[in-house]
Amino acid sequence: MSEPVRLVVDVAVLSVFLLGIWWFRSSASARFGNRAVATALIVGVCLALIPAPWEGVVGHVVVILFALAIGSTAGAITAARVDMTRIPAMVALQNGAGGLAAALVSLVELARSSDDASMGDFARLAAMLGLTIGAATFAGSLIATGRLANWLRSSSTVLPGHNVLAAGLLGILIVSVCLGLILNDRSPIPLVIGLGTLAVVFGIVMAIRVGGADMPVLISFLNALSGLAAAFCGVAIGSRLLTACGATVSASGLILTHAMCLAMNRSWRSILWAGASVAAAPAPAAQASGQRDDSEVSPEDQAVQALRKAEKIMIVPGYGLALANAQAPAVRLAEKLAQMGKETKFAIHPIAGRMPGHMHVLLAEADVDPDLLFDLADINSEFSQTDLALIVGACDVVNPAAIEVEGTPISGMPVLLAHQAKQVLVCNLDAKPGYSGVDNPLYQDAKSILLWGDARENLNRLIERLADPSFHAENQA
């Protein structure tokens, strides 16, 4: 393929890639955009093989095809088996795999440069940066995967002299990269391996300090790093397409990281360097509405009565919605309430779930009307005029302790003001704290109806009761 033709093809593939990302802006076109991006990436992989780096050696072709078959099969099986509760952990793991791929390709290119001086200084620098950033991303993503999959504890881990250790490792990495550039225009294998090892250690040290409610920020940042590693890798091997796609992913990841920091009311530095996650402090007792009193009326009956009386209802989903696989009942309940003449909306916190956009994807899977979904900034002012806030599997994102208590992992984080609603219905599994470990004083508020248990079963039961006219007749009597 001639260079002009290759350039045109690269631009065409990149255009489809960017167009697919643009289609992600709407839930109606997101699925089509996903297919477009996947197609562009498949074509990009095929284009990468056209220069025939094996130079006619059939054995290399067999190895490449075998590796592609293994990777594709493993990815397809994993995607088919993973449900929405494990999607955040899978995303973190796949992001780490991308960083590892960039690190390995960069390592191969640097190993070649140790035998000859054909690699230019700029390409060598790009390869060393691709190796360093890719290895650090891989290690950090493994930590994130462990925490999101509940294999590791969710709270942050702070080592003695953590900041000094991280700064020291970063300094050594910078010196090593510079040293690799000035050693006779080559990159000695021991130096390259040492660089990758130090990057892995740095990635672990960086990631273990982030925990609790700050995890979505870490995921976004690691996504940006994996894209950056791929971009440097593309420069090292002379692939315009890989460089452009990697840079696009990195830029979008950084934008998302900034958005997550704003949602958490945190700075990037406080989360990834100074460590915003701290030990949980006890939540205050409910104040405005007094303490809860036991009632002879069952929580389920109270819930149905509240749903019937309310004219304006706000549904707040959280990670527990995913755990209970309750997205379909939540959407059906919203549709039922709308049929009853109620004004019903979904209030979505930017970090609800364990990765950015988790709740939007979950509800879209249940075919929710996109016009019913509202983000925190657009909906928070309406809670004070809301008759009933229905919380489904959410805790941290509606926890008033974030506003009232200092020194907790969520202190200062903007939350959905569900406690300002006239009445609150909680459909959570139990009264345990959320992912941050901070007790929720909303559970002690007298205006809160606590419907503990499986959210899917409880929502289905509420839908049945609302559809039963005898319940309304009994209460009228």
Is 158 found in the same domain as 224? yes
Residue where a domain stops, chosen among 257, 274, 291: 274
pLDDT tops 60 at residue 56: no
Between CA 207 and CA 221 the distance in angstroms is 10
DSSP state of 387: S
Is 306 found in the same domain as 236? no
- In 3-state terms, what secondary structure has residue 442? helix
Number of CB atoms found within 10 A of residue 63's CB = 12
pLDDT in tens, 69-125: 898 898 888 888 887 677 788 889 999 999 999 999 999 888 877 665 567 888 889
413 domain-assigned: yes
Catalytic residues: 396
DSSP state of 285: P
Say which residue, 448 or 52, is predicted with more confidence: 448
What pLDDT score does 355 carry?
76
What pLDDT score does 262 carry?
80
What pLDDT score does 305 carry?
94
Is 339 found in the same domain as 437? yes
> How many structural domains does the chain have?
2
CATH of the domain at 329: 3.40.50.1220
Say which residue, 370 or 139, is predicted with more confidence: 139
pLDDT tops 50 at residue 279: no
What pLDDT score does 373 carry?
94
Residue with tokens 């990468």: 48
pLDDT tops 80 at residue 361: yes
Residue 57: which pLDDT band, with cuts at 50, 70 and 90?
very low
pLDDT tops 80 at residue 211: no
Is 454 found in the same domain as 314? yes
pLDDT in tens, 333-348: 999 999 999 999 999 9
51-54 — which CB contacts under 8 Å span 24+ positions?
A: none
459 domain-assigned: yes
DSSP state of 271: I
346 domain-assigned: yes
pLDDT tops 70 at residue 476: no
Is 462 found in the same domain as 322? yes
Q: Determine the structural domain holding residue 125 and report its residue range.
A: 87-274
Between CA 148 and CA 142 the distance in angstroms is 10
49 domain-assigned: no
Q: Which residue in 467, 471, 456, 454 sits closest to 331, CA to CA? A: 456
Percent of residues, the chain, with pLDDT higher than 90 = 48
What pLDDT score does 281 carry?
45
Q: Once rounded to an integer, what is the mean pLDDT over residues 229-256?
A: 92
Is 466 found in the same domain as 426? yes
C-beta separation of 122 from 237 below 8 A: no
pLDDT in tens, 295-335: 567 999 999 999 999 999 999 999 899 889 999 999 999 99
- What are the strands of the beta sheet with 373-375, ordered from one edge? 373-375, 343-348, 312-317, 388-392, 423-427, 448-450
19 domain-assigned: no
pLDDT tops 60 at residue 26: yes
10 domain-assigned: no
DSSP state of 429: S
100 domain-assigned: yes
Q: Please state the φ and ψ torsions of residue 70, each to the nearest 5 degrees.
A: -65, -50
Is 415 found in the same domain as 350? yes
What residue ranges in 358-422 does DSSP mark as E strands? Answer: 373-375, 388-392
Q: 48: burial class by Cβ within 10 Å (0-12, 13-18, 19+)? A: middle
Which stretch of 93-97, 146-150, 163-167 has the lowest confidence by average pLDDT?
146-150
